[in-house]
Structure 1
Amino acid sequence: MRITSADIIVTSPTRNFVTLKITTDEGITGLGDATLNGRELAVAAYLRDHVAQLLIGRDPHRIEDTWQYLYRGAYWRRGPVTMAAIAAVDMALWDIKGKAAGLPVYQLLGGASRTGLMTYGHASGRDLPELFDSVRRHIEEGHQAVRIQSSVPGIPALYGVAAQPQASGVRYDHEPAGRGSRPPEEVWNTHAYLHHLPTVFEAVRNEFGPDLPLLHDGHHRMTPIQAAKLGKALEPYDLFWLEDTTPAEHQEAFRLIRHHTTTPLAVGEVFNHAADFRTLLTERLIDYVRAAATHFGGITPLRKIMDTAAEYQIKSGFHGPTDISPVGLAAQAHLGLAIHNFGIQEYMGHSEATHTVFRQSMTFKDGLLHPGDTPGLGVELDEEAAAAHPYQQAYLPCNRLADGTIHDW
């Protein structure tokens, strides 16, 4: 079997996705997710202008060799654009291998280690009654754990809060990227946030009791000592995890955070290489790996980092909002089903328009996500439907302090 074509499809059914479609001389096709939110066309150009022609004539079964060829052969390694492009190739080749074998990808990874994947959903509110209603909805949908995000007095608009208008007038729902030529700007106040958030978790625990697993995303906005302070303040409310407390490239900063709090820590959604996790894993500074197959080079390297994490009793918590296409989410679901040290899967749910473009076998039933038993990844692209949703420039918000200084986001 040989690869005969590699096509890049950019579509925007409520948000932008970049998909690689590889076709073989036996008519088997494979899909890979190359979406990089806010920089989608950079990855599309990387694939179209620099990678696609390198795939023609290659044996699609040689997944590891192709991965190393694209990574080591380019000399300029790593970075989100490069790794998202390689990820798309890797996923597509696993998709082809599964279809050729007549097996879902998780079977090729060693078979299922569980019946399905525990998920968490995104609950949020501008006030406590609205937040409580959101938590109830997510429990009713079947989520066994819930991420808690809340408006903060003194912060006029805050990313992650569903009904709250952003600075540009767009709304955060399940598709939070704002359409337009510039990102919306939000104002941030760490003091107000640190003061308010523990009161939110106290109220949620009082309303829903001690058994519901609760999570929170700090979105890299704190310094290490601020993160330590928050982790300690949240200890009475027994969080499942506290996520992305400080810019994740500063691995050594997590020593300080870990020293001051027993709140479990999750990080890594902006990582794109195993080296980004080295200190965090070997010193047991985190509890959950947040990497996404789409941004980490695909299934192949994500499986390797989870094997390393297992040696340190660290589990998976793969990034899975709607900036991961259904193809990328399926890739992670297959891997999560197979690995022993699975922890939880973020599951936000794509829009109805997205489901008309990406036809999938994934199910969410009885509180568990399952990638399905269709051979390959279990996702097919309707190219006619994709063409009906052309690319639209869109950006996630950026952050400024009250004095106008750009802040971490």
Structure 2
Amino acid sequence: MKIVATDVVLTSPGRNFVTLKITTADGLTGLGDATLNGRELAVASYLTEHVVPLLIGRDARNIEDTWQFLYRSAYWRRGPVTMSAIAAVDMALWDIKAKAADMPLYQLLGGASRTGLTAYGHASGRDTEELFDSIRHHLELGFRAIRVQTAVPGIGTLYGVPTQPAVPGGRADDYEPAQRGPLPAEEDWDTRAYLRHLPTIFEAVRAEFGPELPLLHDGHHRMTPIEAAKLGKSLEPYDLFWLEDCTPAENQEALRLVRRHTTTPLAIGEVFNTVWDYQSLISEQLIDYVRSSVTHAGGITALRKLLDFAAQYQIKSGIHGPTDISPVGMAAALHLDLAIHNFGIQEYMPHSALTSEVFRQSFTFEDGYLHPGEQPGLGVDLDEDAAAKFPYERAYLPYNRLNDGTVHDW
């Protein structure tokens, strides 16, 4: 099963995606997601100029050896560009191996540990009425858990809250914060206003929807450790499923402070790329959920090892799954979710109709549960003719400034 050809495909059916396609001498093909939102060309170039020449002639069956070769031979390790490129190769090789075995990938990972995967939807609103409508909309879609993001008085534009909802009574489906243009959009931020307002929103949501509905919230790295601790404590009466990315966790010491002050469960890591980012967080049990994506953390091989490490400490998965993860990356996450024992929950935003024209997927969402499907491999096919109709468009994620003009975490 020698690798004889590779292609790096850039396409933009409403948002940018980078896909690696590997072909073997046997005629099998595998797909890998290499999308890094706002830095897509960096990964595409890394693959084309540095990785693809190393793949031709290698045995596609030797996934572990190829992973270690790509990680160690470059000398310059880690980082989102390198790990997204390695992840794309890893996914594509697992896709090929499972197709060769005529099995859905999860069977090669040990088989199913559950019948379906609980997913959470993204509800938001510019006011309480709109937020309630959005929650109802997602419940009608079948979601059994809801992430709640809300506008805050005094803050003009806020992460996770589209300015114009695209669905009746709810938030935009396939919401894309990365905007086309020569420069990133500037947004504003006021931590004190946010800390005052957010508990009132969760109080209102609990009063309207009751105590049983699992609720989540994303702080998106914007708080200092003591601010994060304060928020976690103030949200305890509303029994969150998790508080996500409450503070930049590159400073792992910060989570010790947060943990001392609140029992609100913590989810961390969507911007993390390797097990080394988590080493203290997991071994000291400072978090409850691992948030890395398959796409940005070195692929199925690496994330499986990370989640096995987390399982020793009763820490569960919460794999990153917005729509800037392509259907290929999403499928890889679902196969891994189905196989591991310590599955927690899966983030899920349905991709747009245009994206689904380019990426034909077999995974399903029914009655609140995701399933990767029974098609051999990952279960996603790339329509290259359709992809060619949507050329890459430069886009940047926004950034924040405080009231005094200081650049702040977005």
Quickly name the TM-score band, shorter chain normalised. Answer: over 0.9
Helix, strand or coil at the partner of 2:75: coil
CA contact (8 A) 1:35 1:323 kept: yes
The 5 A counterparts of 1:300-315 are 300-315=301-316
Separation in 1 of the partners of 2:84 and 2:361?
A: 21
Relative to structure 2, which stretch is displaced further, 373-382 or 176-185? Answer: 176-185
The 5 A counterparts of 1:51-200 are 51-164=51-164, 174=174, 175-200=176-201
Q: Which residue in the other structure is 1:243 paired with?
A: 244
Q: Which residue in the other structure is 2:317 paired with?
A: 316
CA contact (8 A) 2:173 2:352 kept: no
Q: Which residue in the other structure is 1:168 paired with?
A: none
Separation in 1 of the partners of 2:172 and 2:204?
A: 23
- Pairwise CA RMSD: 1.0
Q: Deviations over 1:26-74 (max 9, x none)?
A: 1000000000000000000000000101000100000000000000011
Separation in 2 of the partners of 1:117 and 1:162?
A: 27
Q: Does 1:395 align with 2:407?
A: no
CA contact (8 A) 1:160 1:172 kept: no
Q: Which residue in the other structure is 1:371 paired with?
A: 372
**Cα pair distance change 1:172/1:182, threshold 3 Å:** farther
Separation in 2 of the partners of 1:312 and 1:241?
A: 17
CA contact (8 A) 2:288 2:315 kept: yes
**Cα pair distance change 1:231/1:164, threshold 3 Å:** farther
Q: Deviations over 1:95-128 (max 9, x none)?
A: 0000000001100000000001000010000000
Q: Which residue in the other structure is 1:30 paired with?
A: 30
Q: Which residue in the other structure is 2:405 paired with?
A: 404
Q: Which residue in the other structure is 1:13 paired with?
A: 13
Separation in 2 of the partners of 1:228 and 1:147?
A: 20
Q: Which residue in the other structure is 2:207 paired with?
A: 206
CA contact (8 A) 2:124 2:161 kept: yes
Separation in 1 of the partners of 2:52 and 2:16?
A: 20
Helix, strand or coil at the partner of 2:20: strand
The residue type equivalent to 1:77 in the other structure is: R
Separation in 2 of the partners of 1:164 and 1:231?
A: 29
TM-superposed CA distance for 1:359, in Å, is 0.3
The residue type equivalent to 2:24 in the other structure is: T
CA contact (8 A) 2:220 2:245 kept: yes
Separation in 2 of the partners of 1:7 and 1:79?
A: 23
The residue type equivalent to 2:2 in the other structure is: R
Q: TM-score, normalised by structure 1?
A: 0.98
TM-superposed CA distance for 1:173, in Å, is 5.1
Separation in 2 of the partners of 1:391 and 1:173?
A: 21
Q: Which residue in the other structure is 1:272 paired with?
A: 273
Q: Which residue in the other structure is 2:290 paired with?
A: 289
Q: TM-score, normalised by structure 2?
A: 0.97
Separation in 1 of the partners of 2:194 and 2:172?
A: 19
Separation in 2 of the partners of 1:247 and 1:111?
A: 35
What are the ranges of 5 or more consecutive residues in structure 1 without an aligned counterpart? 166-170
Separation in 1 of the partners of 2:396 and 2:242?
A: 27
The residue type equivalent to 1:87 in the other structure is: A
Q: Deviations over 1:352-382 (max 9, x none)?
A: 0000000010000111000101000000000
The residue type equivalent to 1:192 in the other structure is: A
CA contact (8 A) 1:83 1:295 kept: yes
Separation in 1 of the partners of 2:356 and 2:61?
A: 29
Helix, strand or coil at the partner of 2:124: strand
CA contact (8 A) 2:173 2:350 kept: no
Q: Deviations over 1:384-405 (max 9, x none)?
A: 0000000001111101101111
Helix, strand or coil at the partner of 1:296: coil
The residue type equivalent to 2:34 in the other structure is: A
Separation in 1 of the partners of 2:334 and 2:248?
A: 26
TM-superposed CA distance for 1:332, in Å, is 0.4
TM-superposed CA distance for 1:195, in Å, is 0.2
Separation in 1 of the partners of 2:357 and 2:164?
A: 28
Q: Does 1:354 align with 2:324?
A: no
TM-superposed CA distance for 1:162, in Å, is 2.6
Separation in 2 of the partners of 1:60 and 1:19?
A: 17
Helix, strand or coil at the partner of 2:278: helix
Q: Which residue in the other structure is 2:335 paired with?
A: 334
Helix, strand or coil at the partner of 1:60: coil
TM-superposed CA distance for 1:172, in Å, is 6.4
Separation in 2 of the partners of 1:237 and 1:269?
A: 24
TM-superposed CA distance for 1:164, in Å, is 5.0
Helix, strand or coil at the partner of 1:26: coil
